[in-house]
Amino acid sequence: MPFDDLFGNERIKHILTSYLRNNVMPSSMIFTGPGSTDLLLFAVAFAKAVNCENCREDFCDACCNCSEIEREIFLDLKILAPDGQQYKKEQITFLIEDNYIKPLKGEKKINILTEAHKMNENSANTFLKVLEEPAQDNIFILLTTNMNALLPTIKSRCQILKFSPQSRAEIKKYLVKQGYDPEKARLMSYLCQSNLERILMVDFDEFMEKRAKILSALKKLINGVGVEDILLDLYQKSRSREKFIEYFRQLVNLISLMLRDIMILKIDKSNKNLINIDYRDDLMSLGEYITIDKVLFLIKKMELLLRDIQRNLNTKVLTLEFIKSYTSKRGT
């Protein structure tokens, strides 16, 4: 039952298996959600289920077709990625030319376009031709973590499947199953904001080190020393905008979780609902320097900052504005 082996998103599994059961499949779909690894795992699983020699609503992961798909050598499977920053027009033209050629081995040809939002208008308009006249044996699966960047004309021609992030409890359970001790699993499920892809990339020791740095950043922020040096350090370490956003997301997330703990400690000194249990004493003493209003103000500010950065606004300007607005509020 390999669909069962995929982590989370039961609703999506249900939709995909019902397509298979009824043998009515959309010729083009968009898989969208927070983690690109999840989207690709599901798309490849669906490619197996469509072409599996042993199962109808699922895949065996053992037959020749399943194992060729797993190794990405199956003749009727294409997994495309942007050539450089964006899809090249030739990549899309190739799909059009290939559209009417029958499958060579399997039931249907599966074309998976990763990072589908990285099509410029020209490529997207070319791609529309395939969507408008889909060949019977061809299925297109567009994967994207950024639905807003897809052309409305493309979206309107595809079945859209929205993936949801996994719950923290699901993630903790998964990590414990992978051999993590429960306390580590608990902390990591908070860090990764319910995103399996991020969890799989995390080195736990590195994470603990980062957390210690963030505690010192928070001390500086609360004491009004400023966090410019930390942000500068982040800029230098991040080789790309995407990397910077990822670091920044972690910074905002961890600071917010610590601020949340400070607030809890101000109201109730028990450890009951604390996330950063090991930092209890530090957070308790930080709480003496900050009012609940200021904690709430900071959490809200950081969330807004992250939202704006994700909307592709100018990172540097926003960060400087944040520092300015915080310092002007200091002492209030």
DSSP bridge pairs for 28 = 140
Closest contact distance (angstroms) between CB of 62 and Zn ion is 6
Closer to Zn ion by Cβ: residue 58 or 115: 58
User: Minimum Å distance from CB 60 to Zn ion?
Assistant: 4
Give me the least distance between CB of 3 and Zn ion, in Å please: 12
Give the CA diameter of the chain.
71
| Torsion angle, alpha carbons of 139, 140, 143, 148, to 10 | -130
Nearer CB in complex with Zn ion: 107/233? 107
Q: Rank residues 104 and 152 by Cβ distance to Zn ion and give the closer one.
A: 104
Are the beta carbons of 284 and 290 closer than 8 angstroms?
A: no
Nearest Cα residue to 65 out of 107, 30, 94: 107
User: Rounded to the nearest whole angstrom, what is the least distance from the CB of residue 298 to Zn ion in the complex?
Assistant: 53
Smallest separation (angstroms) from Zn ion to the CB of 107: 11
Q: Torsion-angle region of residue 25: left (phi > 0), alpha (psi -120 to 50) or beta? A: beta
Looking at the Cβ atoms of 59 and 163, the one nearer to Zn ion is: 59
**Where do contacts with Zn ion occur on this chain (CB under 5 A)?**
52, 54, 59-60, 63, 66
**Residue number with CB closer to Zn ion (31 or 59):** 59
